[in-house]
Amino acid sequence: MNLERVNSELKRQIALIIDNNEVNDPRLGGFISVTAVGTAKDLGSAVVYVSVLNGDIKEVLYALRNAAGYIRKLLKNRVKIRSLPELRFAADDSIEYGMKMDKLINDVMKREKTE
């Protein structure tokens, strides 16, 4: 299985685990999106990028980091690769950044119209 397929399958399965509330942690309420997975070439580790809408990203990351071993255990039955990577969770702030840039552009355009 090539790295792109591994990343795609890990992303899909981790999203399903979170969406189906298979990790029993109240901090994982709200809308959590798995935006990307980056797996090392040796399959030793993978960074899972998540985005949170209407929630505290720090709390969500804390909960996911605490549940990383359990999530990995669930993945062993779902993802068929020779070595399942250790999971690390990180915030994906690209949506927030995009919204900030959009606001800045709109502000500039409004100022140009009034001048």
Q: What residues make up the domain containing 80?
A: 3-114
CA distance 43 to 95: 28
Tell me the mean pLDDT per 10 residues along the chain, length 115.
Answer: 91 95 87 94 95 87 96 93 93 79 87 79
Give the pLDDT score at 49: 96
Residue 59: how many other CB atoms lie within 10 Å: 16
Give the pLDDT score at 114: 79
Give the pLDDT score at 82: 84
Query: Could you tell me the CATH number of the domain that includes residue 57?
Result: 3.30.300.20
Count up the domains in the chain and report the number.
1
Give the pLDDT score at 56: 87
Q: Is 115 exposed, middle or buried (0-12, 13-18, 19+ CB in 10 A)?
A: exposed
